[in-house]
Amino acid sequence: MSFALGWLGWALLSALFAALTAILAKLGLADADADAATWARTTMILLCISAVVSLSGKWSAVLQLTQRQWLFLVLSGIAAAASWLCYFRALQAGTVTQVSVVDRGSLAIVVLLSVLLLDERPQPREWIGVALGLVGVGLVASTK
E strands of the chain, at which residues?
Answer: none
Spatial contact of 81 and 75, defined as CB atoms under 8 Å apart: no
Residue type, 23: I
Residue type, 137: V
The whole-number pLDDT of residue 144 equals 63
State the Cα torsion 61-66-68-69 to the nearest 10°: 0
Which residues of the chain register pLDDT less than 70?
A: 1-2, 144
Spatial contact of 30 and 91, defined as CB atoms under 8 Å apart: no
pLDDT tens per residue, range 82-122: 999 999 999 999 999 999 989 988 999 999 999 999 999 99
The widest CA-to-CA distance across the chain, in whole angstroms, is 51
3-class state of residue 5 by DSSP: coil
Q: HSE on the CB side for 127, CA within 13 Å?
A: 7
Enter the pTM of the model: 0.82
The whole-number pLDDT of residue 11 equals 87
Question: Helix, strand, coil proportions of the chain in percent (round to 5)?
Answer: 80, 0, 20
Where do the structural domains in the chain lie, given as residue ranges?
1-93, 104-144
Distance between CA atoms of residues 97 and 116, nearest Å: 30
Distance between CA atoms of residues 131 and 15, nearest Å: 19
The whole-number pLDDT of residue 2 equals 56
